[in-house]
Amino acid sequence: MLLKDKIEKHLLEIQKPSRYIGGEVGSVIKDKSKVDVRFAFCFPDTYDIGMSHLGMKILYSLTNERENYWCERCYAPGEDFEAIMRENDIPLYALESLDPIKDFDFIGFTMQYELSYTNVLNMLDLAGIPIFAADRGDELTQIVVAGGPCVCNPEPLADFFDIFILGEGEEVNLELMDLYWEMKQQGATRTQFLEKACQIQGIYVPRFYKYSYGEDGIISKVEPTNGAPAIVKKRIIKDMDKVYYPENFVVPFTEIVHDRVSVEVLRGCIRGCRFCQAGFIYRPFREKSTDTIFRETKCLCENTGYDEVSLASLSTSDHSDIDPMLTKLIDYTAGEKINLSLPSLRMDNFSESLLEKIKKVRKSGLTFAAEGGTQRLRDVINKNVSEDEIMNTCRIAFEGGYSTVKLYFMMGLPTETDEDIVGIADLANRIVDLFYSIENRPKGRGVQVSISVATFVPKPFTPFEFEPQDTREMIEHKQKLLMDSVKSKKIKVSYHDPNVSQLEVILAKGDRRLCKVVYEAWKKGCKFDSWDEHFKFDKWMEAFEECGVDPAFYANRRFEYDEILPWDHLDYYVSKDFFIRENKTARQSKTTPHCRLKCSGCGVSKEIGGPCFAESKSNI
């Protein structure tokens, strides 16, 4: 029986079958007899989530522009379909050809969050691909690669992958495929290919690095072998106006999480919030011109038929041309009856004219990231938002007709005290009071202030990479304190499961010794760890126990400045010296100005051969 028939026989037994059969508008079908290299682009979560991911859309289209390469999509099946696949010997397949991905040249995963690691193992297993890279033989095929933010410390995944791709993939992915095709024709082995591949900037081949550990459990040495470079540098795209952007998206039938056109407006971030990994690993700041953004928006709306578009970036209001850009976009979208959504706006440059523009396009409430409850703590984390700015933003919002605001905070930040936690409640109380002090507030409705509190997760490549995470006892104490401090019914508090945050930090800061824990956890049935209903913390703890790995060594221990960190041999352009400097500055509750105001000497300008901004004063 053909695989397609096998799949179809069971499709009506499961939820949302259109996720598993392809055929969407915009999907790329090629004649496989004319294709040289096949790439299965896998997202280690369900279709609904994976299909929303912008990076995958970019790389999918980019690869398929090359006539002799074919990139296809693959997602983790839901529980119901996985059971059917296992029962009926349906291997994991790609949605365009419905061919098993085990027959592909590349199996590429995008690693967006730590809690998707077990899904990678599960997908490899479903595909019939050996889970450990060492078991894949020396034939040049089935190269398992990964990219995305999590590969800035890929060590907890090192045993499962042949290659990690550091940084932006638009150029390096094709270089890697070109090399593969060239060597494939020459009859090269996997090892020969990997030895050549690791000479390409951005390509990290974990098997070529030997780790030694001291008696204290800390890494004592990382030695490259097989001619691999001692330091692997990430890749970036220099000119955002020239970078490839797709003219079409695959338009799903079933509703997905971000079911709209997404247009990237800028990469990197000028802000330097000390907890934010994205703010550092995506440096330097580069933006697209208004013309490019407009052209891409129009083209994608016309080709996909979406009536909603969203601007993607880490901080859209930091675009140097934001007001004229929005005016131009809104002129177009309003005329075409398209909704424009603007996530990622900042409080400190939130103007009335910006609100007027948002009001035209958005009906729901406003969400702001305050992150810390007191000014002292906000200075520690370099979230350069003052209480006046928060109040002013809320005032503008209330006067503009909004009656709900949502505020994001973190708990367990470095130097945090009980006072900072009470400060969150106090701030929320003052916002409620502010609402009732405004004469022209929205009538007939009460105010609602929602507070969402996440547990702080220190991440590699941030000034807080050295920091320990609060223990569960500390977090529980703080959560209770916050609940007791909130007196008003107008304030709603929600927070994350601290167990999830603990696992996140371990996988974020872990080293190679965690690979076996990830494997054991998966063996015990862990998958979809980021889904509350699937998260099995007790199974994870059993896995740590059985592997003799102490979670606290990674989660609750301070990493010393002079210690070899698991990710020290990976270079994301921002220097460790800078992170140490910033960590010390944080401890003095001192802020660092954003990159447009003053260059903080993070190391990026050295890599790109000049200042990031013409106007910023050099500090190097």
Partner 1 sequence: MQRVRATFEKKGRAKYISHLDLNRCMLRTFRRSGLPIWYTEGFHSHPYYSFALALSLGFESSCEILDFNLNEDIPFDEIKDRLNAVMPEGMRIVKVADQKQKITAIAKAEYSFSLTAEDVDGLYSAVQALLEQPQILIEKKTKKGLKEVDIKPEMEVVSCEKTDNSVDMVMRLPAGTQTNYNPSLFIEALRRTTDIGFDAEKIRRTAILCADNSDFD
Pairing of strands 570-571, 232-233: parallel
Rule CB under 8 A: say whether 22 interacts with partner 1.
Answer: yes
User: Which of helix, strand or coil describes residue 127?
Assistant: helix
Please choose, out of 188-196, 250-258, 518-526, 566-574, the segment that lies near partner 1 by the rule CB under 8 A: 250-258
Distance CA(186)–CA(217), nearest Å, equals 44
* Residue closer to partner 1, measured from CB, 303 or 575: 303
DSSP for 521-589, please give it. Answer: HHHTT---TTSTTT--HHHHHHHHHHHT--HHHHHTSPPPTTS--TTTTEE-SS-HHHHHHHHHHHHTT
Please choose, out of 16-24, 405-413, 527-535, 612-620, the segment that lies near partner 1 by the rule CB under 8 A: 16-24
Measured from the CB of residue 71, what is the shortest distance to partner 1 in angstroms? 19
Rule CB under 8 A: say whether 25 interacts with partner 1.
Answer: yes
Of 86, 189, 223, 253, the one binding partner 1 (CB under 8 A) is 253
CB proximity list for 489: less than 8 A, separation 6 or greater: none
Rule CB under 8 A: say whether 303 interacts with partner 1.
Answer: yes
- Cα torsion 222, 228, 231, 235 to 10°: value is -140
Rule CB under 8 A: say whether 433 interacts with partner 1.
Answer: no
In the numeric block, which tokens belong to residue 382?
């370099």
Of 65, 307, 356, 545, the one binding partner 1 (CB under 8 A) is 307
Measured from the CB of residue 29, what is the shortest distance to partner 1 in angstroms? 9
Q: From residue 494 to residue 523, what is the string marking binding to partner 1 with x (rule CB under 8 A)?
A: ------------------------------
Please choose, out of 22-30, 83-91, 422-430, 508-516, the segment that lies near partner 1 by the rule CB under 8 A: 22-30
Side chain identity at residue 598, one-letter code: K
* Residue closer to partner 1, measured from CB, 253 or 436: 253
Rule CB under 8 A: say whether 254 interacts with partner 1.
Answer: yes
Residue 285 CB neighbours (<10 A)? 25
Instruction: Please give the order of strands across the beta sheet that includes 308-312.
Output: 261-264, 308-312, 339-341
Q: From residue 327 to residue 356, what is the string marking binding to partner 1 with x (rule CB under 8 A)?
A: ----------x-------------------
Distance CA(346)–CA(597), nearest Å, equals 16
Rule CB under 8 A: say whether 375 interacts with partner 1.
Answer: no
Please choose, out of 138-146, 193-201, 246-254, 416-424, the segment that lies near partner 1 by the rule CB under 8 A: 246-254
Of 47, 104, 245, 306, the one binding partner 1 (CB under 8 A) is 306
Which residue intervals of 144-282 are DSSP H helices?
169-185, 190-197, 277-281
Residue 512 CB neighbours (<10 A)? 19
Rule CB under 8 A: say whether 77 interacts with partner 1.
Answer: no
* Residue closer to partner 1, measured from CB, 8 or 178: 8
CB proximity list for 536: less than 8 A, separation 6 or greater: 524, 525, 526, 529
Return residues touching partner 1 (CB under 8 A): 11-12, 16-18, 21-25, 251, 253-255, 301-307, 337
